[in-house]
Amino acid sequence: MAIVERTEGAGAVLWQAIDDGDVRIAIIHRPRYDDWSLPKGGVDAGESHIQAAFREVLEETGVKAIFGPEIGTVDYEVNGVTKEVRYWLAEADQFNAATPNPEEVDAIEWLSISDAINKLSNSDDREIVRMAEEFGFGSTPLVLLRHAKALKRDLWDGDDGDRPLEHVGQIQAAKIPGIYAPYAIEKIYSSDAIRCVQTIEAMAAEYGITPIYSSEISEFGFEKDSERALDYALSVMLSDKPSVMCSHNPVLPKLVKKLIGKKNFKRLSAELKPGDSFVLHHRSGDVIAVDWTPAPKVEKSK
């Protein structure tokens, strides 16, 4: 059986709202191909897809963006190699945050949605912009993060709340800040269990955020009063701040059900392993999309 070569890429529909409430989309001109494109590029070793999309937007447009939900995937073939590119919505935040390489991008235009669709060279890019328009612009993320890999229960003699991360979990925790940086997180909430505290320490330090610890979203607290934990999570979402909430596998699926109500999203079928998360994108508490984010990759020691 022939092995099909495959590469992975990531990009974004970069947008900004203008004074009259309309939206403008950024498209770039690539002199190498003499085409108009959405910002995108390959995923480097050790990067998550959203990290790659965040980096490519910065490198190709000079704009530091705040990312929203993932909106679509495009597959195409180049010289016999299949390339899969995943796209996010990304709102322009800081302009001139970097200088694009003129050999890669020699022009950037901000156009209305219809003008962008007309000018984009590739039909796949045009379809992604149509998806973005249909989805709508502007939302707030709530990251429901399962703590990183902890020491197994049967290897720990102390109180379960004091059970720490194992070595792999510590590496995961150190990599977590880069994965969620594109969301411009403002608040971090965590169970007071040590494995959760250790999971968000590096993130809190890198983002310059003082975490809020609560026993209500710990396993013990949830077992004691599940309704109080659910109300706590709902209040966090209704605060309308980009937030992370680190908790436990028995707790998080129930929190998700509370927050999405009767809606159903296919991403929720994913198993939540240590270091994984569900990212709920909402508009004033109304969840409009759910992304699943896998734990940071950790190289196995030889």
Residues 280 and 222 in one domain: yes
pLDDT above 50 (res 1): no
Give me the pLDDT at residue 262, please: 83
Instruction: Please give the average per-residue pLDDT across 9-36, as a whole number.
Output: 95
Residues 129 and 267 in one domain: no
Give me the pLDDT at residue 261, please: 87
Smallest Cα–Cα separation from 147: which of 247, 79, 291? Answer: 247
pLDDT above 80 (res 78): no
Residue type, position 238, single letter: L
Q: How many CB atoms lie within 10 A of CB 35?
A: 14
CATH of the domain at 69: 3.90.79.10
Residues 97 and 158 in one domain: no
Instruction: Please give the average per-residue pLDDT across 43-50, as a whole number.
Output: 94
Question: Among 78, 108, 135, which residue terminates a domain?
Answer: 135
301 pLDDT band, cuts 50/70/90, is: low
Rounded (10°) CA dihedral 135, 141, 144, 149 = 100
Residues 109 and 241 in one domain: no
Instruction: Please give the average per-residue pLDDT across 70-94, as a whole number.
Output: 92
pLDDT above 80 (res 3): no
Residues 75 and 187 in one domain: no
Residues 100 and 179 in one domain: no
pLDDT above 80 (res 244): yes
Residues 148 and 288 in one domain: yes
Give me the pLDDT at residue 43, please: 95
Separation between Cα atoms, residue 241 and residue 185, nearest integer Å: 8
Q: How many CB atoms lie within 10 A of CB 237?
A: 22
142-190 residue pLDDT tens: 999 999 999 999 999 999 999 999 999 999 999 999 999 999 999 999 9
Q: Is the dihedral of CA 298, 299, 300, 302 positive or negative?
A: negative
Contacts of 206-209 with CB under 8 Å at 24 or more apart are: 206/177, 206/181, 207/177, 207/181, 209/185
Inside any domain, residue 302? no
Inside any domain, residue 274? yes
Give me the pLDDT at residue 6, please: 81
Separation between Cα atoms, residue 235 and residue 225, nearest integer Å: 16
Please say whether the beta carbons of 12 and 57 come within 8 A: yes
Which whole-number Å values give the CA distances from 282 to 3, 12, 183, 285, 288, in the listed order? 41, 19, 13, 5, 5
CATH of the domain at 249: 3.40.50.1240
Higher pLDDT: 111 or 263? It is 111
**Domain count across the chain:** 2
Residue with tokens 């447009």: 61
Smallest Cα–Cα separation from 111: which of 22, 190, 30? Answer: 22
Give me the pLDDT at residue 302, please: 52
Residue type, position 72, single letter: G
Question: Among 117, 135, 153, which residue terminates a domain?
Answer: 135
Residues 152 and 256 in one domain: yes
Residues 97 and 171 in one domain: no
Give me the pLDDT at residue 263, please: 86
Instruction: Please give the average per-residue pLDDT across 245-256, as a whole number.
Output: 94
Please say whether the beta carbons of 7 and 81 come within 8 A: yes
User: What mean pLDDT, rounded, does the chain reach?
Assistant: 94
Give me the pLDDT at residue 268, please: 77
Smallest Cα–Cα separation from 108: which of 193, 28, 48, 25? Answer: 28
Question: Among 135, 169, 190, which residue terminates a domain?
Answer: 135
107-119 residue pLDDT tens: 999 999 999 999 9
Give me the pLDDT at residue 4, please: 54
Please say whether the beta carbons of 198 and 242 come within 8 A: no
Residues 157 and 233 in one domain: yes
87 pLDDT band, cuts 50/70/90, is: very high
Parent domain of 94: 6-135
212-243 residue pLDDT tens: 999 999 999 999 999 999 999 999 999 999 99
Residues 224 and 264 in one domain: yes
Please say whether the beta carbons of 11 and 85 come within 8 A: yes
Residues 102 and 161 in one domain: no
Q: Is 99 helix (H, G, I), strand (E, B) or coil?
A: coil
